[in-house]
């Protein structure tokens, strides 16, 4: 399973049918990410229903990996969600536990995604009496919550990033490798030229680079060209100060 875009609070909405208006779901999930230290075997997510109708949701945990610059989710039993199926009345909340099934292992952080999918249900009212169904469509939500298992070794967990610019099918692509033992969340990608002038290339979340992985992101077609002496900087893991992730030198 491949994911193109992920966020700290990655919420994707699919439209179930065509129509001029929509009634939004009331499904809410908190927090937006989880971290399990080696000595911690479980944590929890709260699911809530702020809508006016009962909703049903499915909760799954998948292993999150990055290969060849792409993100993939794969089945795994290293983490499980309990309970996996939820029914929430209006105004109700439910705790879902995310449980580690094996002891902490390895000197590098491991990553997972908890997928919370609202299950579409037919209205209990006949179509001629269901004004919402007549006017439009329902949004069905997916929440994708990152879960990080911190490494079990004594070394501090931290990313080590190195970026470069590539040409891929006529597009300019930023490639960032993470040689550290912990993930990096990149935000607010900025180009700084040799004179110190700043140009924002990406506002907000760029994406994640997992420990020991490499990711690629295409730059916008109208992004300014990068010259010798330019550098790219980003805010890593929500830090206030930016970190340089790539410096461009003259070609040999």
pLDDT per residue rounded down to tens, the chain (252 residues): 444 443 333 433 333 322 333 345 699 999 999 999 988 999 999 999 999 999 999 999 999 999 989 999 999 999 999 999 999 999 999 999 999 998 877 889 999 999 999 998 754 444 454 454 444 445 588 999 999 999 887 778 899 999 998 887 778 899 999 999 999 999 999 999 989 999 999 999 999 999 999 999 998 888 888 888 899 999 999 999 999 999 887 554
Q: What pLDDT is stored for residue 126 in this prediction?
A: 47
Give the whole-angstrom CA distance, residue 112 versus residue 92: 27
Q: What pLDDT is stored for residue 244 in this prediction?
A: 95
- Domain(s) labelled CATH 2.60.40.10 in the chain stretch across 2-149
Q: What pLDDT is stored for residue 8 in this prediction?
A: 33
Which of the listed CATH numbers 3.40.1350, 3.40.1130, 2.60.40, 2.40.50 matches domain 161-247? 2.60.40
pTM of the predicted model as reported, rounded to 2 decimal places:
0.81
Q: What pLDDT is stored for residue 206 in this prediction?
A: 95
Which class is 2-149 in CATH?
mainly beta
């Amino acid at each position: 399973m491949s994911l193109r875009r992920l966020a700290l609070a990655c919420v994707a909405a699919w439209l179930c049918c065509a129509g001029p208006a929509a009634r939004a779901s009331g499904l809410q999930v908190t927090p937006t990410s989880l971290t399990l230290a080696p000595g911690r075997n479980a944590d929890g997510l709260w699911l809530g229903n702020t809508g006016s109708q009962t909703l049903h949701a499915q909760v799954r945990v998948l292993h999150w990996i990055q290969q060849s610059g792409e993100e993939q989710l794969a089945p795994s039993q290293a983490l499980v969600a309990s309970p996996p199926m939820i029914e929430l009345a209006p105004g109700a909340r439910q705790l879902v536990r995310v449980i580690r099934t094996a002891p902490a292992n390895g000197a590098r952080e491991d990553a997972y995604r908890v997928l919370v999918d609202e299950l579409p249900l037919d209205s209990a009212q006949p179509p001629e009496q269901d004004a919402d169904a007549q006017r439009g469509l329902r949004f069905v939500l997916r929440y994708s919550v990152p879960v990080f298992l911190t490494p079990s070794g004594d070394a501090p967990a931290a990313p080590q990033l190195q970026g470069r610019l590539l040409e891929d099918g006529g597009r300019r692509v930023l490639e960032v490798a993470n040689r550290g033992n912990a993930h990096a969340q990149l935000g607010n990608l900025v180009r700084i030229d040799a004179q110190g002038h700043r140009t924002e290339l990406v506002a907000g979340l760029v994406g994640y680079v997992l420990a020991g992985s490499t990711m690629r992101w295409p730059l916008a077609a109208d992004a300014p060209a990068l010259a010798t002496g330019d550098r790219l900087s980003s805010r890593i893991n929500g830090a206030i100060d930016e970190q340089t992730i790539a410096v461009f030198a003259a070609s040999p």
